[in-house]
Amino acid sequence: MAKRTRPTLAEIREAHARIRPHIHCTPVVTCETLDRMTGCELHFKCENLQKAGAFKSRGACNAVLCLSDAEAAHGVVTHSSGNHAAALARAARIRGIEAHIVMPSNSPDVKVEAVRGYGGRIIFCEPNQPAREATASRVQLETGATMIHPYDDVRIIAGQGTAVIELLEDVPSLDAVMTPVGGGGLLSGTLIAGKGINPALRIVAAEPANADDSFQGWKRGQYVPSESPDTIADGLKTGLGKLTLPIIHELVDDILLAKENAIREALLLILERAKLVIEPSSAVPLAALLTNEHGLAGQRIGIILSGGNIDLRNFRFA
C-alpha cells in the first residue's frame, strides 16, 4: 500500500474532534488601526494563546493520540527549535509517555525551558538541519521511540489544519487566509482544510526575505534548500518537507516576503495596537501585507498568529 502523503478534509475534521479536549479554541480578534494601515479587514486567529503558546499543540496532540498502545509504550522523538518541541513534550505528558526532544544548541532559552517544564528529555545538537536529523535518528534507534516530525507527517498536517476550521466557523465570509511558512505544516493543513471548505478562498503565505526557500521553490517549481537563514523569525528557518512541498506548490495562491525591519515593526504594532504578545514568526504575515503589492486591498483576511513564545527580556525591537 502506498504511503499517505496528505490528509483529507474529513481526516482534518476527525483530528479536530480528537484533540478538542486538549487544546484551546483560540479567539479571533480585530484591530481598527491595523485595518486602516493595511486597507484590509483583518481577523487575527490567536494561536499565540494556544496551549504551549503555539499552533503546534494541534498537530502534536493529534499525532500522539493517533499512536497505538504498542507505539506509545516506547515514547516519541523529534527535532525542533522550540514550539513543536514544547507541544510534543506536552502531548506526551497528556498520554503518559516519554518525549525525547532534539534541540539546536542555539534554541531560545524561553523555548528550552518550556520543553523542560513539560517533562521532555532534551538532547542538544549543532544548529543545522543535518545535525538535527542525524541526532534524532540516533535517539530513535537507541530508544525505539516513534518519530514525530515537526511538519512532514500526515498526522501533524491534519492537526495544524484544525486552526482554519475554527477560523472559518467564527468568520465564514473571509476572502483570504494568511499564514507564515517555515516547514509548511501549518500552511499545508490550512490549504487542504481552507480550500476544502471554500474552494474560492485565497490562501497566501508569508516568509522572511532572509529565509525565502519556500518562495524560491514555489517560483522555480522545485525544492530549494534552506541554507544559512538569518532571520529573527526563528520558527521559520526550516525548509519545506517532502510532504508539504507538493501541497504548497499545488494549492497556495501567493507567497509574500517580509524584510527584517518590517517584521520587527509588525511585531511591535501587534503588541502596541492589538495588545497581543506574539513571537516574530507570527508577525511575518502583517509585515508582508504592509510592505507588498498584494492585490488584497479591501478584502476580509484571516491571519493565523502562529505563536507567542518570545523572550521579551532579551528581544530587541530596534
Distance separating alpha carbons of residues 54 and 65, to the nearest angstrom: 18
* Number of neighbouring beta carbons within 10 Å of residue 298: 8
pLDDT for res 2: 57
Q: What is the pLDDT of residues 119-170, one digit of tens each?
A: 999 999 998 878 989 999 999 999 999 999 999 999 999 999 999 999 999 9
pLDDT for res 28: 98
- The answer as to CATH 3.40.50.1100 being correct for domain 57-153 is yes
pLDDT for res 106: 85
Query: Quick one: which H or E segment has residue 84?
Result: helix 83-95
Angle between helices 162-170 and 56-65 (to 10 degrees): 120
Give me the residue spans of the domains in the chain: 9-54+155-305, 57-153
Q: What are phi and psi of 258, to 5 degrees?
A: -135, 135
- In this structure, the strands spanning 121-125 and 41-46 are unpaired
Cell readout for 207 is: 516568509
Q: What is the pLDDT of residues 46-63, one digit of tens each?
A: 999 999 999 999 999 999
CB 165 within 8 A of CB 220: no
Q: Is-same-fold flag (9-54+155-305; 57-153)?
A: yes
- pTM over 0.75? The answer is yes
pLDDT for res 318: 61
Instruction: Flag residues of the chain having pLDDT under 50.
Output: 1
pLDDT for res 225: 85
Active site residues: 56, 81
Query: Which CATH class for the 9-54+155-305 domain?
Result: alpha beta
